[in-house]
């Protein structure tokens, strides 16, 4: 942790949504003391509930302070390890996803992919921009709960087609056009939850794609309609393979909760790739109480997933894609060092397109928000033109320019991850390993299963260098 | 708010049947494979046949060959008529068909038989497992026996006929398909049904049409209970007319015991179309 004095640790933090209770000097000098239990954000939440009689629905992911990649550091090479020249020597980044069963696995140039986000939640222009940006740097993008748009398919070299409980817009023609299929069981922002697209975002086009009347609040189911449990899922995956003639990789995506067991069951059901989305992963519209109180942090989920794969003898054979709070190349490198084969970004990709940009400050203020805080993706009035179906707002986002910005950002993430990998002496970012990492906090050490910096202590695993994954 | 045009939906549904009412005979009549030379295939490699294949029926014996070989052929068909012998409850039989093929499955099928069918005329001379004709786009799927759970789940179009009974979740999340069930359906059927018609000649289980959108349900027998926001509605002349059409398309004469007047209509009260705290007790 870099802050001093430290704010409350996660274990003792005041309610999840609350920002740390920091008082101004003026209030403190008057002898005023803000409650950690009932801080100002909590008080505002209670008052809002009393006024409206309905819970808060919002976008974004968990905002509470969580153990995260920031709590890990790399051990650069020195006497006992040879580094690679940071600006010159080769450090590869390519990744193959889904080569266990599929005739045509995905071959990506970089290990950073774009997570599933729906047309409906996002404008058609935003979806196109994601496709353009991803394609420019040789990575994949993903559809969402609302089907595949021609804009997205046309601009995405590698497109992963989500197979969701609602099956909105789901059809075999698009299935055959996809490069991979992602069976979605849940997402990190709301493991165990379905969806809700509020009426203000249901344009005629969105309504037609989902076979529902325009303007109504659309619920998305939380359970698949035609299978229950892992044994059924195995048959469902078989059907998807049959329909697509065993050509396409099948991913299974889970929200991080009982990750060790979920990954084992997903693999047993036949997944070629497992996607684990931590609780920092974003959503377009979910109850705040759900976002902040259900699921586990990305950091805690990765070692569980890797352990499950390793025990099955399938680590690196069934690929692991991790998402939820990836922001920098350091995050990419840390996720990969812990055992991920690739990562996916959602929120960060939208920010790269222009979400929460200070140039919209005046408009955010009109919506009762501010640049850096805007999370009303459910509302459809996004000044940046991303999480909206309003034609005028959506027209603000130029898909070509948006694609360029996303491609730039993806290049930076990749170069940053390479920089760290070279410093650790790795000629491929995939070669980063837990041994390259230490933790800054006991919580992070326990969750990530790497030693506390300067010690050989991995909480929960005794002391000593043996048995890190033992 | 503009509900889907019922006319548009009706036009689409009928246009995609590719099926003539009554052409496949009445319920209970034995179905015979279309005429012509039958050829039993044991090896996928021998599927290919010389030109002029339209006249013949290609036979796959799943006691000898694999579902993969069958589906591979159906996805790149060299004939228009197929017969599947000894299906032995295999899963995903005739899944992903996307051509107007006639396929006769001569026995029981497992899960997802005719899954995502788009244009095929597929008959199962037996029972089917979970998810028959799930996500069908067009065509006709006829089950001579009973169906397990989630029959016709999320299907967008075409006609699914189950001559026997269907288990739980029949027509769950249906998105435009027409389903006609000769017998009963289990609980939680037509859950979140969005569009299309579900006709039940027998009884319906509990929780019928829970959270239903614009689909229409017709039940001749008793309904154990209606789900949230599903209500009985008037059976007007246009509904009697569409019911007669659907029954006829399924091969049932809409007269006497099966006259449209014997059915009741159920649909959405549309009270839950907009999320509101006041509805919390309804869920």
Q: Are residues A44 and A78 in the same domain?
A: no
In-domain check, residue A455: no
Residues 2-41 of B with CB under 8 A from A: 2-4
Q: Which of A71-85, A251-265, B17-31, B51-65 has the lowest mean pLDDT?
A: B17-31
* Chain A interface, best mutation among B74, B76, B95, B189, by max A CB count within 10 A: B95
Tell me how long chain A is: 470
Does some domain include residue A366? yes
Q: Are A459 and A446 in contact (CB under 8 A)?
A: yes
**pLDDT below 50 — which residues of chain A?**
1-21, 464-470
Q: Are A215 and A199 in contact (CB under 8 A)?
A: yes
Angle in degrees, CA B153, B157, B158, rounded to 5? 100
Residue B278: the pLDDT is: 63
Query: What pLDDT is attached to residue A462?
Result: 57
Q: In this complex, how many residue pairs, one in chain A and one in chain B, have their CB atoms less than 8 Å apart? A: 125
**B178-207 pLDDT, tens digit each:** 999 999 999 999 999 999 999 999 999 999
Contact by Cβ (8 Å): A133, A402: yes
pLDDT at B12: 39
In a domain, B114, yes or no: no
Which helix (H) or strand (E) covers residue A162, if one does? strand A158-163
Structurally, chain A folds into a number of domains equal to 2
Per-residue model confidence (pLDDT) at position B279: 64
Contact call for residues B221 and B211 (beta carbons, < 8 A): no
User: Which DSSP string corresponds to A341-383?
Assistant: SEEEESHHHHHHHTTT-GGGHHHHHHTT--TTT---TTSS--T
Residue A461 is predicted with a pLDDT of 83
* Cβ-nearest to B153 among A171, A215, A225: A225
CB contact under 8 A, A216 and B172: no
Full domain range(s) for residue B190: 185-274
Shared-domain flag, residues A128 and A36:
no
Instruction: State how beta strands B216-219 and B264-268 pair.
Output: antiparallel
> pLDDT tier at B281 (50, 70, 90 boundaries)?
low
Q: Which of A211, A224, A175, A193 is nearest to B150 (CA)?
A: A224
Residue A118 half-sphere exposure toward CB, CA atoms < 13 A: 31
Would you call A239 and B173 a contact, using CB atoms and an 8 Å cutoff?
no
Q: What is the least distance, in Å, from the CA of B36 to any CA of chain A?
A: 28
Based on the domain organization, do A337 and A401 belong to the same domain? yes
Q: What is the pLDDT of residue B54?
A: 52
| Rama region for B60: left / alpha / beta (φ>0; ψ in -120 to 50; rest) | beta
**pLDDT over 70 (residue B10):** no
Out of A170, A215, A244, closest to residue B135 by CB:
A170
In a domain, A468, yes or no: no
Is A192 a domain residue? yes
For residue B214, tell me if it sits in a domain.
yes
Domain co-membership, A335 together with A394: yes
Return phi, psi of residue B16, to 5°: -95, -5
pLDDT value, residue B34: 42
Task: Give the end of a domain, one of A414, A431, A448.
Answer: A431
Give the up-direction half-sphere exposure of residue A269: CA atoms within 13 A in the CB hemisphere: 28
Distance CA A52, CA A45 (A): 11
Note whether A232 contacts B153, CB cutoff 8 Å: no
Chain A interface disruption, residue of B75, B151, B275, B276, most A CBs within 10 A: B275
Q: Are A303 and A400 contained in the same domain? A: yes
**Residue B255 in domain:** yes
Q: A246 to chain B: nearest residue by CA?
A: B68
Q: Indicate whether A281 and A418 sit together in one domain.
A: yes
Give per-residue pLDDT as tens, A354-407: 999 999 999 999 999 999 999 999 989 999 999 999 999 999 999 999 999 999
| Statement to judge: residues A31 and A145 lie in one domain | no
Chain A interface includes B149 (CB < 8 A): yes
Shortest Cα distance from A55 to chain B (angstroms)?
Answer: 8
Q: Which chain A positions have a beta carbon within 8 Å of B137's beta carbon?
A: 171-173
> Do A82 and A133 have their domain in common?
yes
B134 touches chain A (CB under 8 A): yes
CA separation (Å) from A280 to A116, A325, A396, A429, B85?
A: 15, 5, 28, 23, 52
Q: How far is CA B225 from CA A46, A221, B55, B208, in A?
A: 38, 21, 50, 6
The CA-CA-CA angle for residues B232, B234, B236, to 5°, reads 145
Q: Is the dihedral of CA A363, A368, A374, A379 positive or negative?
A: negative
User: Average pLDDT, stretch B256-277?
Assistant: 91
Alpha helix stretches (DSSP H) within chain B = 6-17, 67-75, 237-250
Out of A53, A196, A210, closest to residue B277 by CB: A53
**Quick check: is A451 in a domain?**
no
Contact A204 B92 (CB under 8 A): no
Q: Are strands B57-61 and B38-41 parallel, antiparallel or unpaired?
A: parallel
Q: How many domains does chain B have?
A: 1
B residues 172-201 lying closer than 8 A (beta carbon) to A: 172-173, 175-176, 191-192, 194-195
SS3 A247: coil
The enclosing domain of A156 has a CATH number of 3.20.20.70
Give the residue on B whose Cα is nearest the Cα of A236: B112
A221 contacts B173? CB cut-off 8 A:
yes
Q: B116 in a domain, yes or no?
A: no
Q: What is the pLDDT of residue A23?
A: 60
**Cβ B91–A235 below 8 Å, yes or no?**
yes
**CA of B71: which chain A residue's CA is closest?**
A242
**CA of B202, closest CA in chain A: separation in Å?**
23
Count Cα neighbours of B251 within 13 Å in the Cβ-side half-sphere.
22
Our measurement of the distance from residue A24's CA atom to the centroid of its chain's CA atoms, rounded to an integer in Å, reads 34
Query: B44 and chain A: CB distance < 8 Å anywhere?
Result: no
Residues A39 and A157 in one domain: no
Neighbouring residues of A214: CB distance < 8 A, sequence distance ≥ 6: A202, A203, A204, A206, A207, B1, B2
Measure CB to CB from residue A242 to each of B95, B172, B213 and give the nearest one: B95
- Residue A467 resides in a domain: no
Q: Is residue B87 part of a domain?
A: no
- Are both A307 and A248 inside the same structural domain? yes
Burial class (CB in 10 A: 0-12, 13-18, 19+), A466: exposed
A447 to chain B, minimum CA–CA distance in Å?
38
Grouping H, G, I as helix, E, B as strand and the rest as coil, residue B2 is coil
Q: Is B214 on the interface with A (CB under 8 A)?
A: yes
Nearest chain A CA: its distance from B210 CA (Å): 12
Residue A107 lies in a domain: yes
Q: Is the dihedral of CA A63, A67, A71, A74 positive or negative?
A: negative
Stronger pLDDT, A337 or B43, i.e. the higher one: A337
As given in the structure block, the two tokens for residue B124 are 């199962």
How wide is the angle at C-alpha A112 spanned by C-alphas A386 and A345, nearest 5°?
Answer: 35
- List chain B residues with CB under 8 Å of A246: 68
Among A171, A213, A225, beta carbon nearest to B172? A225
Expressed as residue numbers, the domain containing A209 is: 70-431
The alpha-carbon gap from B201 to the nearest alpha carbon of chain A, in Å, equals: 23
Tokens of A218: 């659309």
Within-domain flag for B213: yes
Whether the upstream peptide bond of residue A5 has omega within 30° of 0, thus cis, is yes
Taking each helix axis from N to C end, the angle separating A124-136 and A399-423, rounded to the nearest 10 degrees, works out to: 40
CB nearest B96 (choices: A52, A210, A243): A243
Q: Of B75, B172, B275, which is closest to A217 when you measure between CB atoms?
A: B275
| pTM for this prediction | 0.89
CA distance B161 to B121: 11
Q: Note whether B156 contacts A211, CB cutoff 8 Å.
A: yes
Do A121 and A39 share a domain, yes or no? no
Which residues, 6 or more positions from A443, have their beta carbon under 8 angstroms from its beta carbon? A9, A10, A11, A67, A71
Write down the pLDDT at residue A206: 86
Residues A332 and A419 in one domain: yes
* B87 vs A120: CA distance, rounded Å: 42
Instruction: With respect to residue B245, please indicate whether it lies within any of the assigned structural domains.
Output: yes
B236 touches chain A (CB under 8 A): no
Note the ipTM here: 0.88
Q: Which of B156, B225, B133 is nearest to B186 (CA)?
A: B225
């Amino acid at each position: 942790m870099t802050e001093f004095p430290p704010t409350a640790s996660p274990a003792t933090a005041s309610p999840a949504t609350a920002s740390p209770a920091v008082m101004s000097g003026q209030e403190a000098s008057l002898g005023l003391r803000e409650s950690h239990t009932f801080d100002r954000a909590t008080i505002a939440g209670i008052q809002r509930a009393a006024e409206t009689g309905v819970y808060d629905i919002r976008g974004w992911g968990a905002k509470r302070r969580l153990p995260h990649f920031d709590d890990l550091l790399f051990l650069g090479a020195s006497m006992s390890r040879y580094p690679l020249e940071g600006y010159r020597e080769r450090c590869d980044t390519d990744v193959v996803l889904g080569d266990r069963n599929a005739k045509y696995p995905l071959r990506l140039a970089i290990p950073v992919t774009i997570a599933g986000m729906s047309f409906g939640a996002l404008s058609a222009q935003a979806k196109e921009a994601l496709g353009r940006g991803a394609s420019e740097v040789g990575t994949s993008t993903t559809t969402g709960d609302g089907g595949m748009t021609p804009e997205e398919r046309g601009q995405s070299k590698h497109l992963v087609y989500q197979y969701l409980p609602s099956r909105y817009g789901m059809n075999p023609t698009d299935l055959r056009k996809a490069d991979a299929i992602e069976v979605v069981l849940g997402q990190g922002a709301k493991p165990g939850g379905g969806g809700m697209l509020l009426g203000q975002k249901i344009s005629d086009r969105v309504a037609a794609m989902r076979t529902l009347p325009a303007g109504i609040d659309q619920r998305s189911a939380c359970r698949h309609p035609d299978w229950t449990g892992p044994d059924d899922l195995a048959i469902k995956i078989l059907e998807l393979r049959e329909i697509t003639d065993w050509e396409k990789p099948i991913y299974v995506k889970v929200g991080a909760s009982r990750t060790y067991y979920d990954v084992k069951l997903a693999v047993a059901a036949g997944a070629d790739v497992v996607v684990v989305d931590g609780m920092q992963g974003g959503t377009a519209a979910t109850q705040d109480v759900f976002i902040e109180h259900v699921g586990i942090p990305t950091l805690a989920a990765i070692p569980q997933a890797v352990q499950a794969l390793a025990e099955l003898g399938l680590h690196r054979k069934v690929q692991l894609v991790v998402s939820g709070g990836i922001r920098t190349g350091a995050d990419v490198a840390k996720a990969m060092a812990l055992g991920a084969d690739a990562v996916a970004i959602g929120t960060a990709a939208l920010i790269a397109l222009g979400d929460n940009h200070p140039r919209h400050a005046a408009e955010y203020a009109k919506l009762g928000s501010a640049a850096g805080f805007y999370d009303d993706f459910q509302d459809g009035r996004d000044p940046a033109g991303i999480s909206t179906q309003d034609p005028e707002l959506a027209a603000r986002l130029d898909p070509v320019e948006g694609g360029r910005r996303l491609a730039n950002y993806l290049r930076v993430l990749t170069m940053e991850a390479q920089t760290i990998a070279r410093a650790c002496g790795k000629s491929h970012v995939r070669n980063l390993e837990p041994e390259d990492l230490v933790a800054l906090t006991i919580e992070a050490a326990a969750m990530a299963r790497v030693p506390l910096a300067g010690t050989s202590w991995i909480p929960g695993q005794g002391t000593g260098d043996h048995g890190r994954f033992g | 708010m503009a509900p889907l045009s019922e006319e548009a939906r009706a036009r689409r549904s009928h246009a995609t049947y590719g099926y003539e009412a009554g052409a496949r005979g009445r319920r209970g009549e034995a179905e015979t494979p279309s005429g012509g030379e039958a050829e039993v295939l044991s090896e996928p490699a021998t599927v290919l046949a010389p030109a002029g294949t339209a006249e013949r029926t290609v036979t796959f014996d799943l006691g000898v060959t694999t579902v993969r070989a069958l589906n591979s052929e159906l996805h790149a068909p060299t004939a228009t008529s197929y017969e599947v012998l000894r299906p032995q409850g295999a899963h995903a039989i005739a899944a992903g068909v996307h051509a107007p093929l006639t396929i006769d499955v001569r026995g029981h099928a497992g899960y997802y038989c005719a899954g995502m069918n788009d244009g095929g005329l597929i008959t199962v001379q037996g029972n089917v497992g979970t998810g028959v004709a799930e996500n069908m786009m067009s065509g006709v799927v006829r089950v001579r026996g009973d169906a397990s759970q989630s029959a016709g789940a999320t299907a967008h179009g075409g006609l699914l006929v189950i001559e026997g009974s269907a288990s739980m979740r029949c027509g769950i999340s249906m998105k435009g398909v027409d389903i006609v069930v000769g017998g009963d359906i289990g609980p939680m059927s037509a859950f979140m049904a969005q569009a299309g018609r579900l006709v039940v000649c027998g009884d319906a289980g509990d929780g019928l049409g829970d959270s239903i959108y614009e689909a229409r349900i017709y039940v001749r027998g008793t309904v154990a209970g209606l789900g949230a926001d599903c209500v009985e509605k008037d059976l007007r002349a246009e509904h009697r007319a569409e019911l007669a059409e659907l029954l006829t398309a399924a091969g049932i004469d809409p007269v006497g015991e099966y006259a449209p007047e014997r059915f009741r209509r159920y649909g959405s009260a549309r009270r839950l179309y907009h999320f509101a705290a006041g509805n919390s007790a309804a869920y």
